[in-house]
Amino acid sequence: MYTTSHVNLPANAREQLVDLLNTLLASAIDLHWQIKQAHWNIRGKHFISRHELFDDLAKHAREQADSFAERAGTLGGYAEGTIRLATQNSLLPEYDLEAVDGDAHMRALVDRFARYAASIRDGIQRSEALKDPVTVDLLTQSLGDVELDLWFLESHLTGENRPGAPRSRKDRDAGTSSHA
Ligand SMILES: [Fe+2]
C-alpha cells in the first residue's frame, strides 16, 4: 500500500478496493471529459438546454471522481488521477467523434453512462465481497446519481432515436440495428 492506513480492513482487501476505486476514478475522469466534449460540440435543436444539461452531468462525474480518489486515499492507496493514467485505465471506449446533432450526442452519452453505471454496480458487488460497507455505501449513492442522470439523457431518446432502435423503415426491414 502507498501509505499507512488504520482503517481496520485486511491489507489485501484494502489493496483490491483501491484497485477497483482507481478503475472507477479513471472511468469517471474519462466520462467527465466525454460529457464536456458533448457540451462543446453539440449543435441543432434544443441546443441551449442540452448544452447546459451536459455541464450539470459533467459536474456530477467530476464529483464522483473526487469521491473515488479520496476513498482510495483513505484506504492507504495512491489515487491514479492524471489524464494519462485515466486513459490507460478507463473502462469506457473513446467518445463518438462524429457526433454533431443533439440526438447523436445523446446516444453516445447514454451508451457511456450505461457502461459506467454497470462498472459501479460491479464495484458494489466486489466491495460487498471484500466486506467494506463504507465503499459499498459510497458506490451505491454514486450509482443512484448516475442512474438518475442516465434517465435524464435517455428520456430525450424516444421512438427511432432510442439506442438500438431501427433508424429507418429500410433498416427495420433489413433487420439491422443502429446502436451508437
Ligand atoms: Fe461551458
Q: Decide if pLDDT at 177 tops 80.
A: no
pLDDT band at 163 (very low <50, low <70, confident <90, very high): low
Lowest mean pLDDT among 107-111, 161-165, 174-178: 174-178
Q: Which of 95, 92, 97 is nearest to 65 (CA)?
A: 92
108-115 mean pLDDT: 98
Given this model, what pLDDT does residue 165 score?
Answer: 61
> What mean pLDDT do residues 113-126 have?
98
Query: Who has greater pLDDT, 18 or 161?
Result: 18
**How many helices and strands (H and E) does the chain possess?**
6, 0
How remote is the CA of residue 36 from the centroid of ligand 1, in Å? Answer: 8
Centre of ligand 1 to C-alpha 140, Å, is 29
Could you tell me which residue, 174 or 31, shows the higher pLDDT?
31
pLDDT at position 161 is 56
Alpha carbon of 58 to ligand 1 centroid (Å): 10
Homologous superfamily assigned to 11-161: Ferritin, core subunit, four-helix bundle (1.20.1260.10)
Residue 15 has pLDDT above 80, yes or no: yes
Residue with cell string 485486511: 10
Q: Which residue has 453516445 as its cell numbers?
A: 108
More confident residue, 162 or 83: 83
Q: Which residues pair with 101 in a beta bridge?
A: 43
Q: How far is the CA of 57 from the centre of ligand 1 (A)?
A: 12
Q: Tell me the CA–centroid distance for residue 178 and ligand 1, in Å.
A: 30
- Report the mean per-residue pLDDT for the chain: 91
Q: What is the DSSP letter of 92?
A: S
CA distances (Å), origin 88, targets 23, 91, 93: 9, 9, 11
pLDDT the model gives residue 160: 58
- Measured CA to CA, the distance from residue 106 to residue 173 in angstroms comes to 25
Amino acid at 76: G
- Indicate if the pLDDT at residue 178 is higher than 50: no
How many angstroms does the Cα of residue 39 sit away from the middle of ligand 1? 7
CA of 52 to the centre of ligand 1 (A): 8
Domain residue extents for the chain: 11-161
Say what percent of the chain tops pLDDT 70.
87
pLDDT of residue 13: 97
CB 180 within 8 A of CB 163: yes
Res 3: pLDDT? 82
Comparing C-alpha atoms, which of 111, 101, 96 is closest to residue 51? 101
Averaged over 132-159, what is the pLDDT?
95
40 CA to middle of ligand 1, Å? 7
